[in-house]
Amino acid sequence: MRYFLSENCRPVALRLAEERTLCAFDFDGTLAPIVEHPDLARMRARTRRLLTRLSRAYPTVVISGRSRADLLRHLGDIPVARAVGNHGAETTRPDRASLRLAETWALAIGPALASLKGVWIENKGASLAIHYRQARNKTQARTAILAAVGELPETRTIGGKLVVNLMPAGAPGKGAAVALLRDRLRCRTILYVGDDDNDEDAFALEADIAPVRVGRSRNSSARYFLKRQEEIDALLELMIGLRAAGDAGGKQER
Q: What is the CATH number of the domain that holds 65?
A: 3.40.50.1000
108 in the same domain as 70: no
* 139/100 same-domain check: yes
Amino acid letter for position 119: V
Whether the per-residue pLDDT at 29 is higher than 50: the answer is: yes
Q: Kindly tell me if the per-residue pLDDT of 98 is higher than 90.
A: no
pLDDT value of residue 95? 62
Residues 226 and 188 in one domain: yes
Pair 188, 81 in one domain: yes
Whether residue 78 sits in one domain with residue 41: yes
- Does residue 160 lie within any of the structural domains? yes
60-63 and 82-84 beta bridge pairing: parallel
Whether the per-residue pLDDT at 177 is higher than 50: the answer is: yes
Of residues 95, 102, 26, the one with CA closest to residue 60: 26
Residue 251 has pLDDT above 60, yes or no: no
243 found inside a domain: yes
pLDDT over threshold 70, residue 123: yes
**Is residue 8 a part of any domain in this protein?**
yes
For the whole model, what pTM was predicted? 0.89
Identify the bridge partners of residue 210 per DSSP, sorted by sequence position: 191
User: Do 37 and 83 share a structural domain?
Assistant: yes
* Confidence at residue 254, expressed as pLDDT on a 0 to 100 scale: 42
pLDDT in tens, 126-171: 889 999 999 999 999 999 999 999 989 889 898 888 999 998 888 8
Q: For the domain that residue 130 is a member of, what is the CATH number?
A: 3.30.70.1020
Q: Give yes or no: residues 148 and 192 share one domain.
A: no
Q: Is the pLDDT of residue 223 over 90?
A: yes
Provide mean pLDDT across the span 109-134.
92
Q: Are residues 158 and 197 in the same domain?
A: no
Domain C-terminal end among 168, 190, 224 = 168
Arithmetic mean of pLDDT, 90-115:
83
Lowest mean pLDDT among 47-56, 100-109, 235-244: 100-109
Give which of 31, 25, 9, 22 is closest to 230, Cα–Cα. Answer: 31
206 vs 91, more confident: 206
Whether 230 is in a domain gets the answer yes
Any domain includes 254 = no
Residues whose CB is less than 8 angstroms from the CB of residue 179 and which lie 6 or more positions away in sequence, other chains included: 205, 207
pLDDT, one tens digit per residue, over 44-77 is 999 999 999 999 999 999 999 999 999 999 999 9
| Last residue of one domain, picked from the residues 168, 186, 203 | 168
pLDDT at residue 248 in the model: 59
Which amino acid, 139? T
- Shared-domain flag, residues 64 and 182: yes
Instruction: Output the CA angle 60-66-68, nearest 5 degrees.
Output: 60
Examine the pLDDT at 179 and tell me if it is beyond 90.
yes
Q: Which of 168, 186, 211 is the last residue of a domain?
A: 168
Q: Within this chain, do residues 215 and 243 fall inside the same structural domain, yes or no?
A: yes
Does any domain span residue 253?
Answer: no
Q: Are 58 and 23 spatial neighbours (Cβ–Cβ below 8 Å)?
A: yes
Range of the domain at 125: 96-168
- Do 77 and 187 lie in one domain? The reply is yes
